[in-house]
Amino acid sequence: MIYLKVIKKIGFVLILGLMLVSCNKNEKKVNVSETQKSVAVEKSKADKKLKIEDYFSGPNYMRYMVSEKNQLALTDKQESAFKIWRTENHPKIEARMEQIDEINSEIKSLSKEQASSEKILQKLDATNKLRLEIAEIKIQCRDHIIEELDDKQWNTLVEDYKKEYPFMEREEMMVLISHVNPLPNYMQTINDNTEKFKISEEEQKTLGNWSSENHPKMMQMAQQVQNLEKDIYQASLNKEPRAGIFNKINEIGKLRVDVVSKKTNCRDLVIKTLSPEQWNLLIEKS
């Protein structure tokens, strides 16, 4: 009897031990899974490459300066000066681009959440200020390069840069309007899904009338932004003063505000026109 009791106790201990091992294995699996998800999120962020041209349209001189193909015959002193400048300032620019990108995502979410125009424009104002900060650093970069190079080197840089990195216009309408403002394009999504959203003739008429009146105005403003960006590109190459370039950047900021205001008015009309069910479908697609 004593032996049987001992055996039972040993068996119980073994079973308990196996259960603990099994639990630990499951815990490890959960941890691995969570780690994989975390890595996937970080990888997604890392894969998203931000382009300076989307935040400041002036020349990205350092791209040319650090290129092995540049024809400047830089001295060791010049190369060292540019390397130091880039090391100190490039992270500042990247940080501001990331901030703008994050705020733009917030603006998009606020629009979907039916936030007020005032709240959305406050966020937009924050991005405009960050764009000015980026412009300040980029203009300082240009002026630093002008100080370091002789006239022949600068002229070579300008000619080569225009050939290698010309100003690229956004020719597609949707690409341009998305560049100018971060809000969802509700009208386009509705037009692409009229049957799925069960848009009535009356709803189509209301939305169509608004679009006919306001869409050309928004596209005109978007084109004005692009024209000003092209002017900034050329003004920088022409060694034009900081003040003139900043005036153009401020003009762009005002145009962005006007476009976002109109887009928010559009959203409000859509909310008023559609049923709650249709609006929810629209949000899912936007």
Express each pLDDT in 1-45 by its tens digit: 444 443 444 444 434 444 433 444 443 333 433 434 344 444 444
The pTM (predicted TM-score) of the whole model is 0.81
pLDDT tens readout for residues 111-152 = 999 999 999 999 999 999 999 999 999 999 999 999 999 999
pLDDT at 229 over 50: yes
Region 80-102: what's the mean pLDDT? 96
H-type alpha helices, the chain = 2-47, 61-65, 76-112, 117-148, 151-164, 173-180, 186-192, 201-237, 242-273, 276-285
pLDDT > 90 fraction of the chain, expressed in percent and rounded: 79
Region 196-218: what's the mean pLDDT? 96
Q: Which of 243, 224, 15 is nearest to 132 (CA)?
A: 243
pLDDT at 85 over 50: yes
Cα end-to-end distance, the chain, whole Å: 74
Q: Which of 42, 138, 140, 63 is nearest to 97 (CA)?
A: 138
Largest CA distance in the chain: 104
pLDDT tens readout for residues 46-84 = 456 899 999 999 999 999 988 877 899 999 999 999 999
pLDDT at 255 over 60: yes
pLDDT on residue 4 = 41
Using CA atoms of 54, 59, 62, 67 in order, give the dihedral in degrees to the nearest 10: 100
Region 153-182: what's the mean pLDDT? 95
Region 207-229: what's the mean pLDDT? 96
Residues near 198 by beta carbon (within 8 Å), at least 6 away in sequence: 278
Region 215-233: what's the mean pLDDT? 97
Class of residue 274 by CB neighbours under 10 A (exposed 0-12, middle 13-18, buried 19+) = buried
pLDDT on residue 231 = 98
pLDDT on residue 146 = 97
pLDDT at 283 over 60: yes
pLDDT on residue 48 = 66
| Mean predicted lDDT score pLDDT of the chain | 87
The residue to which tokens 């090391």 are assigned: 87
Angle between helices 242-273 and 201-237 (to 10 degrees): 170
